[in-house]
Amino acid sequence: EGLHALMLSAGKLYFGTATDVGNHNDEKYQAILAHQGEFGIITPENSQKWEVTEPRRNQFVYTTADTVAEKAQDNGHLLRCHTLTWHSQLPPFVSSGSWNASDLTDILTTHITNVMTHFKGRCYAWDVVNEALEEDGTYRESVFYEVLGDKYIPLSFKIAAQADPEAKLYYNDFNLETSPKKADGAERIVKLVRDAGERIDGVGFQGHLIVGQTPSRRALAALLSRFARLGVEVAWTELDIAHDFSSAASNGSSAANATQLEQQAADYVSVVGACLDEPRCVGVTVWQFTDKYSWVPLAFPGRGEPCLWTATYTKKPAYDAVSKLLREA
């Protein structure tokens, strides 16, 4: 049985993956993606981002995002939609404008409303605001923060709730697992949105982690339950666990050895296990399932092989360990 089928048996909603049009002509990849029961939901890795969907003001382009959405439909997968208000992958018209508050509010309203309306009824969830925090828990500098202050966050959720009342609305960020002050900041964001009277349904933990430096299952479950107690659902939204090939464990090699593969498997079990331990954790999405298409070595030379399948599509010990964990759940 595939990972998604096993997640359902364990009482969760899904096991998913990021994928995009760049992967569409790879037959072996597509066979795994379409394999019955392996995945239940997909996140477009890049196609729904602002620079793609509204490259110039008021010009909306859904060509690639629609292709991904059709593929999801063909495979019977739900969509986790990603992302609306984010400082990165913004088109120049947004990032380099010198806006006043009213102009930028208009731009945000038009963007969020148009994109969410286009995909209305097809997104299980939207990452409404992505990566608004620095590691020390303060707000990240961005055009949104500069012009609107922290009000851009509840504003984004307000616009989103009006555009698609059915989609779950998420705040999504990375390193919440390893930076306690950033986790405090995320909690503050949940309260900020609530105090403004707006709806926030979930917090997404990206889970871009490092082999051998991944917190324990107990610590991760405690983190998830801290947010669950605020009354939001939680999920692992972009999970991958990369080897650090500059570490002593690598001994100069840039391919994982057996010991490292076992540690990676143990770390995946900690993360997925933490979701099993928290009733309000709805599921796990990996950020690509094969090392062939991982973003990690491109962004962090010296790190890599973070996925469940190798670059040549064999299942790694981490796959087998997650499968076993779920079968026994």
We find the least distance from the C-beta atom of residue 206 to ligand G3I, in angstroms, to be: 5
In this structure, is the dihedral angle defined by the CA atoms of residues 150, 61, 64 and 294, taken in order, positive or negative? negative
Residue (46 or 113) nearer to ligand G3I, CB? 46
The residue annotated as part of the active site, out of 38, 45, 54, 131, is 131
Rounded to an integer, what distance in angstroms lies between the CA atom of residue 76 and that of residue 250? Answer: 40
In terms of DSSP bridges, do strands 233-244 and 303-304 run parallel, antiparallel, or are they unpaired?
Answer: antiparallel
Residue (8 or 142) nearer to ligand G3I, CB? 142
45 binds ligand G3I, rule: CB under 6 A: yes
240 binds ligand G3I, rule: CB under 6 A: no
Rounded to an integer, what distance in angstroms lies between the CA atom of residue 317 and that of residue 295? Answer: 21
Give the rounded distance of the alpha carbon of 154 from its chain centre: 20
238 binds ligand G3I, rule: CB under 6 A: yes
177 binds ligand G3I, rule: CB under 6 A: no
Of 2, 10, 37, 46, the one binding ligand G3I by CB under 6 A = 46
We find the least distance from the C-beta atom of residue 68 to ligand G3I, in angstroms, to be: 13
The residue annotated as part of the active site, out of 187, 198, 233, 238, is 238
Residue (172 or 260) nearer to ligand G3I, CB? 172
Rounded to an integer, what distance in angstroms lies between the CA atom of residue 202 and that of residue 232? Answer: 5
Of 295, 297, 310, 315, the one binding ligand G3I by CB under 6 A = 295
x/- binding map, residues 133-172, to ligand G3I, per CB under 6 A? ----------------------------------------
Q: Reply yes or no on whether 134 is catalytic.
A: no
253 binds ligand G3I, rule: CB under 6 A: no
Q: Reply yes or no on whether 233 is catalytic.
A: no
Long-range contacts of 62-69 (CB under 8 A, 24+ apart): 62/118, 64/20, 64/21, 65/119, 67/21, 67/24, 68/19, 68/20, 68/21, 68/42, 68/44, 69/44, 69/119, 69/122
Question: Quick one: residue 148, left, alpha or beta (phi over 0 = left, psi -120 to 50 = alpha)?
Answer: alpha
Nearest one of 232, 206, 181 to 296, comparing CA atoms: 206
We find the least distance from the C-beta atom of residue 86 to ligand G3I, in angstroms, to be: 7
Q: Which of residues 72-111 bind ligand G3I (CB under 6 A)?
A: 88-89
Please work out the total of residues on this chain that contact ligand G3I, with binding judged by CB under 6 A.
Answer: 9
Rounded to an integer, what distance in angstroms lies between the CA atom of residue 155 and that of residue 134? Answer: 20
We find the least distance from the C-beta atom of residue 125 to ligand G3I, in angstroms, to be: 14
Report how far apart the first and last C-alpha atoms of the chain are (Å, whole number): 14
Question: Can you read off the two tokens belonging to residue 193?
Answer: 């949105």
Residue (55 or 231) nearer to ligand G3I, CB? 55
For residue 239, list its beta bridge partners: 286
Residue (156 or 276) nearer to ligand G3I, CB? 156
Residue (49 or 321) nearer to ligand G3I, CB? 49
Q: Which amino acid is at 80?
A: R
> Could you tell me if 209 and 267 are in contact, meaning their C-beta atoms sit under 8 angstroms apart?
yes
Q: Which of residues 188-227 bind ligand G3I (CB under 6 A)?
A: 206
Q: Which of residues 296-315 bind ligand G3I (CB under 6 A)?
A: 299
Rounded to an integer, what distance in angstroms lies between the CA atom of residue 297 and that of residue 243? Answer: 10
We find the least distance from the C-beta atom of residue 131 to ligand G3I, in angstroms, to be: 6
Footprint of ligand G3I (CB under 6 A): 45-46, 88-89, 174, 206, 238, 295, 299
Residues with catalytic annotation?
131, 238
